[in-house]
Chain A
Amino acid sequence: MGLKIKQPGVHATIQDVGRTGAQKYGVVVGGVMDELSLRIGNILVQNNQNEAAIEVMFFGTSITFTENHVIAITGGDLQPMMNGVLVPMWRPIYIKKSSTITFKGTAKGCFAYISIAGGFEVPYKMNSKSTFTKAGIGGYKGRALDKNDVLEIGSPNKISKAIMKTLNKSPAHPKWYVNYATFYGQSDEQIIRVLKGSEYNLFSKESQKNFATEEYTLTTQADRMGYKFDGQTLKQSNPTDLLSEGVTYGTVQVPANGKPIILMADRQTTGGYPKIAQVITADLPKLAQVQPHSKVKFKIVSMLEAEKALFTQEDKIKEIISGVYLKAKTGGILQ
């Protein structure tokens, strides 16, 4: 045994980086909304970066641990409490048997991740542990976690065990944490960088200008499949019908009502709406954590800038990998 779901909350699922490679058969990729948080969480507990975690949406999820474990909580600040006390995020934490972690609310962001040393023992379906609830595949029995579900945990690797041993002695968490602010903006108004989409030129000059300069508000019609925004209407100069073609995470579609929809993790594999833009990979985690009713601004950047942003992000992740590894190796996990 490893842990038991006390309360499922709004929506909690097992997710890894997604079910890739089968889109040609119409299989949805799915996976985490915020891949960066998943990867960092796994680095903190020394799992493979694509190991599955529990993705908690908004609040209410409560989990009781039936053994001693090392976990890390990353992603949005959903105010995780351990036995009633706020528990720090973005660092490894030693959890004692029969402790309960509860997510109280949405201080910042929408999705938090619980990574656990050893990972979750759920079967791989088409090379992924991700839950895709609409099709009922992957994760725990193909569905969102529910009350009294019991999840088995894999055996942690050597370094995780070393972390566990060190943290076993109090304090239960180290004095250091990942500088997450370097990845996620802090202000209320987020800038989301995009590339021009394949149908960008079909939109009127005015719509092109509005898209790049006006604020867009995330509506409550936002889920793991897509985020619908409200703001200045985007119109094509000469409305044309398109054949459906491949879409991906971050594709900005504009349906006939002129309000943009951004496709997220559980997106369909193809789409027929004109694509005004494509969110750059480096800004997808930031986008995933935008709360409904929050405003964003889209900024059009070049492919070069998009690549640079991604390389910079990957460099930072490499630094974190080395930093955590050194802390674990030198016994400096508590320093």
Chain B
Amino acid sequence: MKTSKLKEIIQIIEQTNINILQVEEGEFKLYYQKNDILLSNEQSIDKENTEEYKDEESEVVQSRQPMEDDTIRVITSPMIGTFYIRPEPEAEPYVEIGSIVSVGDSVCVLEAMKLLNEVKSDINGEILEVLVNDGDVIEYGQSLFRVKVEA
């Protein structure tokens, strides 16, 4: 592949949301990965979230930080994935409305690439609301649970 063509491909990718690209052309193989995927996701999606939710629910914008009413906080998603409230289809849910959670307790799993990633609570408190549905595709930083912080 010509250097100019390679340059062109990289320039195009840089302008998109694509993070990883793999191209094969005969003997030539290209694997391209943007610098620190997690970091760039964090920046771009956080920005998106801010814009998207500003009008609807101002509390979502404050993800990860205490809300105005600092007795209520949200647990946000650390990654992109499909949300499941149970570790496996026939198991008990990790949490329900009214469940008491402590820092480090698993609250749900997010599936990406057939791997289920446990999400841990970073709050001590009571689950007030589950903000997403089983099987929903979750974005990085999206709010998952509303939690009443333990006094």
Interface residues of A (CB under 8 A from B): 175-182, 186-187, 316, 319-320, 322-324, 326-327, 330, 332, 335
- In the assembled complex, 21 residue pairs joining A and B whose CB atoms fall closer than 8 Å, in A order, are A175-B106, A175-B118, A176-B116, A177-B115, A177-B116, A177-B118, A178-B116, A179-B114, A182-B114, A186-B88, A186-B90, A316-B114, A319-B114, A320-B114, A322-B113, A323-B113, A324-B115, A327-B115, A332-B38, A335-B78, A335-B117
* Nearest CB in chain A: distance from B91 CB, A: 9
CB distance from A126 to the nearest CB of B (A): 34
Query: How would residues 102 to 117 of chain B score, 1 for a CB under 8 Å from any chain A CB and 0 otherwise?
Result: 0000100001111111
Could you say which of A181, A187, A316, A323 contacts B112, with CB atoms under 8 Å apart?
Answer: A323
Q: Tell me if A181 and B89 are in contact (CB < 8 A).
A: yes
Measured CA separation A269–B79 after assembly (Å): 49
Nearest A residue (CB) for B88: A181
* B120 contacts chain A at the CB level, 8 A cutoff: yes
A38 to B18, CA, bound (A): 33
Residues of A within 8 A of B88 (CB): 180-181, 186
B87 CB, nearest partner CB in chain A, Å: 8
State the Cβ distance, A128 to closest chain B Cβ, in Å: 28
Contact (Cβ within 8 A) B89 A323: no
Q: Which residue of B lies closest to A326 (CB)?
A: B113
B113 (CB) vs chain A CBs: closest residue: A323
What is the interface residue range for chain B against chain A?
A: 10 to 19
A324 CB contacts on chain B under 8 angstroms: 115
Given known contacts A186-B88, A186-B90, A176 and B114 CB-to-CB distance under 8 angstroms? no
Q: Could you say which of A177, A180, A319 has the most chain B C-beta atoms within 10 Å of its C-beta?
A: A177
Given contacts A179-B116, A186-B88, A335-B79, 14 further A-B contacts (CB under 8 A): A175-B106, A175-B118, A176-B115, A176-B116, A178-B115, A179-B115, A181-B89, A319-B113, A319-B114, A322-B113, A323-B115, A327-B115, A335-B78, A335-B117
Which of B38, B78, B111, B115 lies at the interface centre, i.e. has the most chain A CB atoms within 10 A of its CB? B115
Docked CA distance A319–B37 (Å)? 18
The 3 residue pairs across chains A and B that have the minimum distance between CB atoms: A323-B113, A175-B118, A176-B117
What's the minimum C-beta distance from A109 to chain B, rounded to whole angstroms?
A: 13
**Bound form: Cα–Cα A178–B88 in Å:** 11
How far, in Å, is A86 (CB) from chain B's closest CB?
A: 13
| A320 close to B90 (CB less than 8 A) | no
A181 to B82, CA, bound (A): 15
CB pair B111 A179 closer than 8 Å: yes
Smallest Cβ distance from A156 to chain B, in angstroms?
21
Q: From A329, which residue of chain B is reached at the shortest CB distance?
A: B33
Residues in chain A near residue B106, CB distance under 8 A: 175
Q: Are B116 and A320 in contact (CB under 8 A)?
A: no
B120 to chain A, nearest CB (A): 7
Q: Tell me the bound Cα distance from A130 to B115 in angstroms.
A: 29
CA–CA, A182 and B115, complex, Å: 11
Residue numbers in B under 8 Å from A186 (CB-CB): 88-90
User: How many angstroms from the CA of A129 to the CA of B77 in the assembled complex?
Assistant: 44
A36 nearest CB across to chain B (Å): 12
Contact present for A323 and B114 (CB under 8 Å): yes
> Which of B38, B88, B90 is packed against the most chain A CB atoms within 10 Å?
B88
CB nearest neighbor in B for A184: B88
In the bound complex, residues from chain A placing their C-beta under 8 Å from that of B111 are 179
In the bound complex, CA of A232 to CA of B141 (Å):
56
B136 to chain A, nearest CB (A): 16
Within 8 A of A (CB), among B24-56: 37-38
* Across-interface contacts of A177 in B (CB, < 8 A): 115-116, 118
Query: In the complex, what distance in Å separates the CA atom of A332 from the CA atom of B120?
Result: 15
Cα distance, A196 to B78, chains bound together (Å):
48
Please name the residue on chain A nearest to B79 by beta carbon. A335
**Chain B residues closer than 8 Å to A332, beta-carbon distance:** 38
For A77, the closest partner residue in chain B by CB is B88
A319 and B113 alpha carbons, distance in the complex (Å) = 5
CB distance from A181 to the nearest CB of B (A): 5
The answer to whether A320 touches B78, judged by C-beta atoms less than 8 angstroms apart, is: no
Q: Looking across the interface, which residue of chain A has its beta carbon closest to that of B36?
A: A330
Q: In the bound complex, what is the Cα–Cα distance between A322 and B90 (angstroms)?
A: 27
Q: Which residue of A lies closest to B116 (CB)?
A: A179
Give CA–CA (A178, B115) in the complex, Å: 4
The interface residues of chain A lying within 8 Å CB-to-CB of B89 are: 181, 186
